[in-house]
Amino acid sequence: MTDLSIVLVSGGMDSCVTAAIAARQSDELAFLHISYGQRTEARERKAFNDIADFYKVEKRLDVSIEYLARIGGSSLTDERIEIAPADLESKEIPTSYVPFRNANMLSIAVSWGEVLGAKKIYIGAVAEDSSGYPDCRPEFYEAFQRVIDTGTKPDTHIEIRSPIICLTKAEIVKKGIELEAPLHLTWSCYRNEVVACGTCDSCALRLRGFERANLRDPIFYSN
């Protein structure tokens, strides 16, 4: 039986490196991209398709859960809330947190996984972000695994894999280079769709990762 894995691919660096790892560990990949009304939705979708093309993935599902934008509460989906400049030392939940987003996304992945007969779901969560995002913590995925085990068919056996969750951004960059992941195709910026801002949390974490890895980020920044 083919070992099929679903990979949640946002189009960002973390999901790209996760896809590169999944490609080494699986017979076949299916890529899932989920938009939720975020500011950079179109640019992230382009990155998703570019990465899927790179890995020659034929099974792709691109869906929208724009109800998260209607629910609100995040600067990524509500333009009335400012995307604050990066503060990488802060322990507060940033305005970019989308309430319970990853649970919504994993639920869709599990539904698709049951239909496809997938054995694994890969997600590029990173615990380095967890001081800001509660749904990036290892214990969140341990709990969600129990939800999957309890709430699916008896013959469904889907394992959540978060292979970079304990890595720093610098280690993720190095892993991506090691696996020849197409980091030049990725998009991380929360604000812009043409040139990355360089000042939002996501850009700042990415840039710091490349700096600490002593490597140059292949994408361009306005700052």
Whether 131 shows a pLDDT value over 60: the answer reads: no
**pTM for the structure as a whole:** 0.96
Phi-psi domain of 198 (left: phi exceeds 0; alpha: psi -120 through 50; beta: other)? left
Whether 124 shows a pLDDT value over 80: the answer reads: yes
pLDDT of residue 203: 95
Is pLDDT larger for residue 88 or for residue 43? 43
pLDDT of residue 139: 95
Span 124-129, average pLDDT: 85
pLDDT of residue 53: 98
Q: Which of 200, 202, 199 is nearest to 186 (CA)?
A: 202
- Which secondary-structure segment (H or E) carries 116? helix 101-116
pLDDT of residue 143: 98
Adjacent-strand bridge partners of 34? 63
pLDDT of residue 129: 57
Span 101-123, average pLDDT: 98
pLDDT digits (tens, 9 = 90+) for 145-176: 999 999 999 999 999 999 999 999 999 999 99
pLDDT digits (tens, 9 = 90+) for 71-104: 999 999 999 999 988 888 787 888 999 999 999 9
As separate numbers, helices (DSSP H) first and strands (DSSP E) second, the chain gives 7, 5
Q: Which of 95, 170, 160, 83 is nearest to 125 (CA)?
A: 160
Q: What residues contact 46, with CB distance under 8 A and at least 6 apart?
A: 11, 187
For 208, counting Cβ atoms within 10 Å of its Cβ (0-12 exposed, 13-18 middle, 19+ buried), the class is middle
pLDDT of residue 87: 84
Whether 119 shows a pLDDT value over 70: the answer reads: yes
